[in-house]
Chain A
Amino acid sequence: MKYLDEYRDRKTSRLLVEQIRRLATRPWVLMDVCGGQTHSLVRYGIEQELTGTVEMIHGPGCPVCVTSTELIDFAVALSQRPQTIVASFGDMIRVSGSGNSLLQARSRGGKLKIVYSPVDAVELARKNPELEVVFFAVGFETTAPATALAVFHADALGLSNFSLVAAHVRVLPAMETIMEMPDNRVQGFLAAGHVCSITGYEIYKPFVAKYQVPVVVTGFEPIDLLEGILRSVTMLEDSQVVVENCYGRGVQRMGNLFAQSLIDRVYETEDRDWRGFGKIAGGGYRLRSQYAGFDACKKFTGMFPQDSIAATECRGADVMSGRIRPKQCPAFGTTCTPESPLGAPMVSSEGACAAYHRFDSFAIEIR
């Protein structure tokens, strides 16, 4: 496939690895913010190749993983409400709240529809006027325009049986949270390419200036990632602290202004509870008051769970910020496993804890 296959070339990848190895005079610690990048780093064996040269810390960039137990519990409760169907993305429905996941709730009579696009959920509502369709809107800035568009469509169609649980999270506040942590080890960031497709990368300038940490906008294919790592290492070796764009084919300086305006018209920022991190200031989007009619949290206030339990044992934030290794968490492999995860990094198969758990069963000690 054009614009994918060229960036998976083995020969070029190996050359880039060699360059990174030659350039690094000491081991550097970089954070890949995005779960998609983590996926590729693991899948293509890039992390292994760079052992001893660059340590990759897999950041909190999986919106599904950081969705609070409270919001998942709310969606689960809604799926069990009569004449109500909860629609969401395939990756969201496997994650448990303080009790069940949506998938488990379905086996107990909950109604669930997996959609590829949020706009498909609007279509579902239009075709089934007797049902209330609630879209569980997870995702970073990349996904927010799609759900905002769904709200516009529902509004234009005059639907009263469509609403959404706005669980969107924002990347930059999470990066700030990590930099604010005591004994933070991150020396450079690979910024998430597709988030930047929407937001652009000017927004990182104040961040870079404040925390004196380089940020390289990076894509998702092996060559993209290696190029991002190479640029980061080059900057670190030269004590340069700037924002650079290594994903030029998908990211413009100012991002997609139209997509940003979609977000702005529908959402406003709010403080948000991130699973494993706690409250992050400005860490999420909620629907603006003029779209309150589409806000499931307002429409079904009474069903909002009062007793959601956040796992206190989980040290996910310490893992995701690189302060401890997964095995140093007391819950790892005991009360927290891929089958019943407590926190974000065990939830997704690419999460740091899940990856460790998988490798550990073959008795490999990976970095």
Chain B
Amino acid sequence: MKTSMTPAMNCPASVSQSDTVMLAHGEGGRLMRRLILERIAWRFGAGDVQFHSDAACLGKLAGDVALTTDSYVVSPLFFPGGDIGTLAVHGTVNDLAMSGARPLFLTLSLILEEGLPLAMLDQVIESVAATAKACGVKIVAGDTKVVPHGAADGMFINTTGVGVYEFHQRMSAANIHPGDSLIISGPIARHGLAVLAARESIALSPSPRSDSAPLHRVAAELLETLGADLRTMRDATRGGVAAVLHEWAEESGHAMWVDGNCLPILPESRGVCELLGLDPLFVANEGTFVAAVAPHHVNQALAILQSHLTIGCPASIGCVRHRELSPVLISRGLGADQPLDEPPVAMLPRIC
């Protein structure tokens, strides 16, 4: 890259006036420092991002430390109900929350495609900052790289999250027993439909909105109240609720049974799923999770979920059974149990 700089890039004046990200922004010089200081770092509050050293000092943490990392690639970068910035914060916060940890710190690593409008970058960074603040987590370290046009889809983000375990329980599918109840925190399929409709320009009104939201507060209350009767929880992201159930079945060796008539779904999501021929169980969520709880705690768990989530309608959707043949079973229509497939490779509108 360094040997193939165009004349325009050698002229700092023209570069600094550019309204798009250029390769020179990633070259490590003054432009890069200015990009980071003027467009990124200041938004995270003085003292949080420690740009003058190569590593952030987190101090002593009270309790066992949880660490997670995730990369965010979404097309389009902006969609109703969120953007890649909210996802990058919520996703990692939720990974910590679902493991039973309290999220404290995030890193923010950006891979920018040459040509990305700086206004878009600003908007994403603003959204990262606001989301982190709302979640009560601090962005403590970061990195920025620029790749040539065509080498990325606008922008990729990686966030690594650090948290502490404040409770003894560790969330694991190994805690699940036959007879446990399966609970869903709210209406399903919202994020996947929002992104699909935006990406494929499927005009719908209202446009489907993502459920992107942080789950650490509700997770903490569930943990505190239910104790060991909260077996495990997982946010139903890629592959939707079906993916979580398949993972749990595999990890626990038991069967997950779902009553297809009990799945909470908003009427607008239902309409879109019917219209496009999608099964809402396979559609991604970003602020909705599945929990396995001891059966006598179902009502209490539902009450906690109800009090925390703005959209409401948490539901008990099924239970854990001894495994016979199929790992995941669903009852619909006539009531006979059917094996539920693993999520398909790609969620696409169909006509057949």
Contact = CB atoms under 8 A, between A and B. Distances in A.
Direct contact between A and B in the complex (CB less than 8 angstroms)? yes
A45 B276 contact: no
Interface in A44-88: 44-46, 48-49, 62-64
A14 B334 contact: yes
Contacts of A36: 352
B332 A44 contact: yes
Contacts of A91: 277, 348, 350-352
Interface string A186-199: 00000000000000
A114 B335 contact: no
A68 B321 CA distance: 44
Nearest to B270: A1
A94 B333 contact: no
B352 A35 contact: yes
A348 interface: yes
A222 B352 contact: no
Given A1-B270, A91-B350, A139-B351, A46 B333 contact: yes
Contacts of B261: 10
Nearest to A44: B333
Nearest to A17: B334
A263 B46 CA distance: 67
A362 B334 contact: no
B348 A90 contact: yes
B333 A89 contact: no
Interface stretch (B84-92, B141-149, B239-247, B337-345): B337-345
B213 to A, nearest CB: 27
A114 B334 contact: no
Interface residues of B, number: 30
Given A42-B338, A45-B337, A359-B339, A94 B345 contact: yes
Contacts of A211: none
Nearest to A45: B336
Interface in B293-342: 325-326, 331-339, 341
Contacts of A63: 352
B349 A13 contact: no
B65 interface: no
A362 B325 contact: yes
B203 to A, nearest CB: 9
B326 A89 contact: no
A17 B202 CA distance: 39
Nearest to A63: B352
A103 B346 contact: yes
B70 interface: no
Interface in A8-28: 8, 10, 13-14, 17
A300 interface: no
A110 to B, nearest CB: 15
A45 B332 CA distance: 7
A348 B349 contact: no
A349 B274 contact: no
A358 interface: yes
B63 interface: no
A43 B341 contact: no
A4 interface: yes
B274 A4 contact: yes
Interface in B266-301: 270-271, 274-277
A94 B352 contact: no
Contacts of B221: none
A150 interface: no
B200 interface: yes
Contact of A358 (B277, B335, B339): B339
User: Which 7 A/B pairs are nearest by Cβ-Cβ distance?
Assistant: A90-B348, A44-B333, A45-B336, A91-B350, A362-B325, A90-B349, A89-B351
28 contacts: A8-B333, A13-B334, A14-B335, A43-B332, A43-B338, A44-B332, A44-B334, A45-B331, A45-B332, A45-B333, A45-B335, A45-B336, A48-B336, A49-B334, A89-B352, A90-B276, A90-B348, A90-B349, A90-B350, A91-B350, A91-B351, A116-B202, A116-B349, A222-B334, A349-B344, A358-B341, A359-B339, A364-B325
Given A1-B274, A116-B202, 9 more contacts: A10-B261, A42-B338, A45-B338, A48-B336, A48-B338, A90-B350, A90-B351, A114-B349, A364-B325
